């Protein structure tokens, strides 16, 4: 197979891609980079970096690359990273590249993440705004899509939360499907707290919406009439951003 000379090219490759991409630095000492090493690099990167604060086994599936792909063998260890702006999720791509200046290429490798972990599962259907208890759920071991960080695993995590939307029986509960209770209500008088020059300044204000603990909320300063935004610190204190 004759390798095509080039300077710098980015190669995008998805599983079973129909197009043939070829990039290499022509030399009598170069040969084709093994696609298995590219896939192994992507898998190793995900294994080492995927968020996994919950107990559970992470299963990583690396998609196939087009067998017709021809890349110059890299004389340095391959590098892997997430594309700019990307994050770890159930389906993603990992950018695997050769850092050698004379033969630089990048391949975007498709990767799927699943996690086998314990989760809280609804015993019955429940509607929006329902406050769940231990009687409404059971613990099951499941294979879930993506990292397991968002899934609830302990009934204690149900405290102070209600459902954002209706869920059917058998649904695995996630933090994103729950809504934290509001500790500040719209129209409530609050203390606005701001730090400036090493000092704390307090003022009276009125909350303009409901907000949970640590949530962002707007309030009107009763003295100046100015609308400010801050973080809920307690049931009657909002720390205003400078």
Name the percent of the chain lying above pLDDT 90: 61
| Arithmetic mean of pLDDT, 82-90 | 90
Residues 153-164: what's their mean pLDDT?
91
In terms of pTM, does the model score above 0.85? no
Is residue 230 predicted with pLDDT exceeding 90? yes
Q: Summarize pLDDT for 123-134 with one digit per residue, the tens.
A: 999 999 899 999
Q: What is the mean pLDDT of residues 30-44?
A: 91
* DSSP string over 80-98: EEPPTT----SEEEEEEEE
Half-sphere exposure of 53 (CA within 13 A, CB side): 5
pLDDT reported for residue 7: 37
Q: Is the dihedral of CA 117, 118, 124, 127 positive or negative?
A: negative
Res. 165: pLDDT tops 50: yes
Would you kindly state where each structural domain of the chain is located, as residue ranges? Answer: 8-113, 115-180, 182-240
Number of CB atoms found within 10 A of residue 141's CB: 9
- Cβ-contact 124, 136 below 8 angstroms: yes
pLDDT bracket for residue 56 (50, 70, 90): low
Q: Give the CATH fold of the 115-180 domain.
A: Type Iii Antifreeze Protein Isoform Hplc 12 (3.90.1210)
pLDDT of residue 148: 83
DSSP secondary structure letter of residue 235: T
pLDDT for the residue 226:
93
CATH classification code of 182-240: 2.30.30.760
Nearest to 216 by CA among 187, 184, 242, 177: 184
Model confidence at 23: pLDDT above 70: no
Please determine whether the domains at 115-180 and 182-240 fall in the same fold group of CATH. no
């Amino acid at each position: 197979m004759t390798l095509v000379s080039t300077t710098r090219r980015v190669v995008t490759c998805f599983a079973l891609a129909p197009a043939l991409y070829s990039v290499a630095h022509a030399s009598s000492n170069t040969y084709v980079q093994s696609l298995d090493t590219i896939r192994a690099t992507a898998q190793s990167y995900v294994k080492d970096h995927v968020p996994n604060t919950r107990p559970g086994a992470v299963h990583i599936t690396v998609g196939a690359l087009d067998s017709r792909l021809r890349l110059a063998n890299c004389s340095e260890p391959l590098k892997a990273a997430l594309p700019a702006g990307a994050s770890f999720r159930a389906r993603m791509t990992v950018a695997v590249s050769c850092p050698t200046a004379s033969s630089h290429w990048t391949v975007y490798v498709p990767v799927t993440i699943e996690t086998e972990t314990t989760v809280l599962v609804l015993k019955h259907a429940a509607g929006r705004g329902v406050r769940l208890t231990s009687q409404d759920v059971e613990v099951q071991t499941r294979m879930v899509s993506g990292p397991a960080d968002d899934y609830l695993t302990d009934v204690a995590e149900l405290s102070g939360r209600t459902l954002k939307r209706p869920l059917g029986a058998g649904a695995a509960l996630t933090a994103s499907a729950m809504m934290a209770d509001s500790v500040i209500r719209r129209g409530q008088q609050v203390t606005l707290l701001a730090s400036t020059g090493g000092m704390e300044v307090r003022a009276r204000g009125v909350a303009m919406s409901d907000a949970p603990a640590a949530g962002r909320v707007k309030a009107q300063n009763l003295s100046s009439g100015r609308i400010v935004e801050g973080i809920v610190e307690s049931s009657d204190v909002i720390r205003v951003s400078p």
